[in-house]
Amino acid sequence: MKTRERILHTSIALFNELGEPNVTTLLIADELDISPGNLYYHFKSKTEILNELFAWYEEAMYGILSVPESDMEIEDLWFYLHLIFENIAKFQFLYKDLVTVVAKYPHLEKRFQKVLSTKRKACNAVLERAKKAGRLNASDSEIEALTEHVILITTFWLSYSVINEGEVQNDALARGVYQVMSVVAPFLEVDRRDMINSLKEAYL
């Protein structure tokens, strides 16, 4: 792996572990056993490292969100949500210090908002489709509130885990998925609600 690539991979690892505000360019260089001068040969600033990582994040997220979610069953939804949570975990430094990071790198604000609004649309589409398929009983305003819940939970579940447990535990993602499912459950028929409980038993 070329130095430039190694810098990016080490940066994301350190950011995720220690939080972006606590990772200096010197620390990244130290961890790689290269000099700070070398690091700055490849990236003219810390911001540029962050930009590149954010581009990775966007690419991964839009990739997942563009999946043609044709009429999913509960198990598919569980799986799909897990995929999203996994990608969030991969870029958890963005989520754990979201407001701070966006304040520090203002040009990321609009881009992050765009990801969120894409997520919102995808979520809305999934719920509307479930309603049309007769799987979901919810009014328009209920679907609207549900969508907000789903986006809020997915966005802040990792922060919530860190605050409660001091770190991101192994089962944090599965518990996040369950938490999302539990907010949708009341609008499903009874037998599908049981299925969520089965999935909880199986994965949690």
Applying CB under 8 A, the residues found at the interface with a copy of itself are 19, 21-22, 96-100, 102-104, 109, 112-113, 116, 141-142, 145, 148-149, 152-153, 155-157, 159-160, 162-164, 166, 178-179, 182-183, 186-187, 197
Residue 154 falls in which region: left (phi positive, over 0), alpha (psi -120 to 50) or beta: alpha
Q: Which of 19, 30, 36, 90 binds DNA (CB under 7 A)?
A: 36
Nearer to DNA by C-beta: 47 or 66? 47
* Residue 178: CB minimum distance to a copy of itself, A: 8
Letters for 127-146 (x = contact with DNA by CB under 7 A, - = none) are --------------------
* Residue 101: CB minimum distance to DNA, A: 12
CA neighbours within 13 Å on the CB side: how many for 151?
21
* Residue 45: CB minimum distance to DNA, A: 3
Which among a copy of itself, DNA, none contacts residue 90 (Cβ within 5 to 8 A by kind)?
none
Residues 6+ apart with CB under 8 A from 113: none
Give the Cα separation of 43 and 50 in Å (integer).
10
CB distance 138 to 146 below 8 Å? yes
Backbone angles phi, psi at 137, to 5 degrees: -110, 95
Is 19 one of the binding residues for DNA (CB under 7 A)?
Answer: no
CB distance 173 to 85 below 8 Å? yes
Residue with tokens 């604000």: 109
Nearer to a copy of itself by C-beta: 67 or 103? 103
Q: Which residue, among 138, 131, 147, has the nearest Cα to 180 in the 3D structure?
A: 147
Residues that bind DNA (CB under 7 A): 2-4, 24-26, 33-38, 40-42, 44-47
